[in-house]
Structure 1
C-alpha cells in the first residue's frame, strides 16, 4: 500500500462518516508531542511479527467462540496474537495476553492497562474523536507504544492503513511481513458484539455509524487481500464472506497446518 492509495481511502472515509479532518490533525499533533523520543520504532514490531503467523482477534459476536477454539488448539503458541481493543478483555479472561493491542482507546481501560502490565505492545491510534482519551491514557502506557494516525504521518507517527482497530491490525501485520494473517472474531455484519460496544450505550444514530464503520472495514480487508502477497485466512465462526480471503472452518485445516509445520 502506498500513502497516496491510503489517502484516497481516507478521503472516502471522511466523506462517508462526516469526520473532521482538522480534528484528526489536532489529535495526531497531540499524540506526536506526547510520545516524541519515547515511541517504539516499527522495527520493534517487525521483530515481534516478521515471518510469524499472526492472528487478529476482532470484537465481533463470534469472539468468545473463536477464542475457545484457539485455547483448545495444541499449537496455538505458533501464533502471534493481536487484539483489536475490546477483544483484549475476552482474551485476558481466557488467560491469553495479546502480543499487541491495536486501539483507539475507546475500550475498557482496566483491560488495556492489565495487558500492558503483562507485556503487551500497545499500538495507539489518534483521531479527532479520541483527544480526551489520548490525554488521559497515553501517559500511563508511554514507554511501550507505537503511535499511528489516519492522515499523512509525521514525527514519530506511522500510518499503515486501516480504519477500525481490527482491520488496522491486519494492515499492521501486512506491513510487518508476517507469514500469514488469520482473522477471528471479525464478523463484520449487522450484529454488534458485546466486546465491541455495549448495546445499551448505542443510540440509533451511533448504531448506524458503527455499522457503517464495519462495512468500511470489510471493504478495506477485501482491498488488502488484493494488495498483499500474504495469505489471509478467516476463522470467524459466524463471519460474513470476505472476497479474496480464504475461509477456514477450524485451526486443523491443511493450509494452517502446513504453515505451522514450516514455522
Structure 2
C-alpha cells in the first residue's frame, strides 16, 4: 500500500459513509498539537498478535504464545481482564479510555486515531494525551499525525504491525461477519465497516504473499 492508492480507497470509504474529509482534517489538526513525532517503536521479536473483539476473545487470548501484542480499541477490556496491559493499543478513544491511559502509564505504546466523529473525545482526553503517543489519520498526513493506512482500529493495527516489520502477523479474534452489539451504534453501518475492514486486511495479506482466512487465529 502506498499513500496515493490508500487515498483512493479513503475517498470510496468517505463516499460510502458520507464522511466529511474536512472534519477528519480538523481532528488531525487538533490531535497534532497533543502528540509527538509519529515514530513507531522498535520491533520486538518476529511475531505480532493483533487482537480484535470477536465473540471468542476470552478463549482466544488465553491461547496466545509469546509475541508482540497489539490490541484494537474495543478489545482492550477483555484483553486486560485476562492478560493485563499489551505492548500497544490502537484506539480512536471510543473504548475503555481509563484502561487505555492506565496502560500508557505502564509502558504500553498508544496510537490515537483522529477522525471527524471523535473530535470531542480527543479534546475531552487532551489532558491525558502525551507527546510520546502517536497520532494517525485516514486522510492526508498532517504535521505530527501520520497515515499508516487502515479504516477501523483492527485493520489499522494490522497495517501498523506490517509497517513495524513483523515477519508473522496473527489476527486473533477477528470476526468480519457478525456485528458486536455490545457497543452503541447502527448495526447496518457496523456491518459495512466490517466489510471494509475485511477488504483492507485482504489487501495487506495479498501484499505479504498470503490470503486472509476466517477463524480465531488467522496469519497474514
TM-score (norm 1): 0.77
Does the 8 Å CA contact 2:32/2:144 hold for their aligned counterparts? Answer: yes
Aligned residue for 1:187, secondary structure, equals coil
**Aligned partner (choices 125, 134, 139) of residue 113 of structure 2:** 125
Partner of residue 214, structure 1:
194
Distance in 1 of aligned mates of 2:5 and 2:29: 22
Structure 1 runs (4+) deviating above 4 angstroms are 231-235
- 1:4-30 alpha-carbon deviations (Å, 9 max, x no partner): 010011011001111111111110111
The answer to whether the 8 Å contact 1:99/1:120 transfers is yes
Contact 2:171 2:219 in 1 (8 A): no
Q: Tell which structure's C-alpha radius of gyration is larger.
A: 1
Structure 1: segments with no counterpart, 5+ residues: 71-75, 240-244, 248-263
Deviation sequence 1:60-100 (CA, Å, 0-9, x none): 21211211222xxxxx23x0000000211111101331100
What is the match of residue 142 of structure 2? 154
Partner of 2:173: 185
SS in 1 for 2:53: coil
1:64 and 2:58 are equivalent in the alignment: yes
Partner of residue 55, structure 1: 49
Q: Is the 8 A contact 1:183 1:232 kept in 2?
A: no
CA contact (8 A) 2:45 2:68 kept: no
Whole-angstrom CA distance in 2 between matches of 1:113 and 1:51: 25
Separation in 2, partners of 1:91, 1:223: 27
- Within a 5 Å distance, the mapping from 1:1-263 to structure 2 comes to 1-35=1-35, 39-42=36-39, 44-45=40-41, 47=42, 49=43, 52-70=46-64, 76-77=65-66, 79-192=67-180, 194=182, 197=183, 201-202=184-185, 206-228=186-208, 236-237=215-216, 246=219
Q: Structure 1 residue 150: deviation in Å? A: 0.7
Unaligned runs of 5+ in 2: none
Q: Which has the higher helix share?
A: 1
TM-score of the superposed pair, with normalisation by structure 2: 0.92
Cα RMSD (Å): 2.1
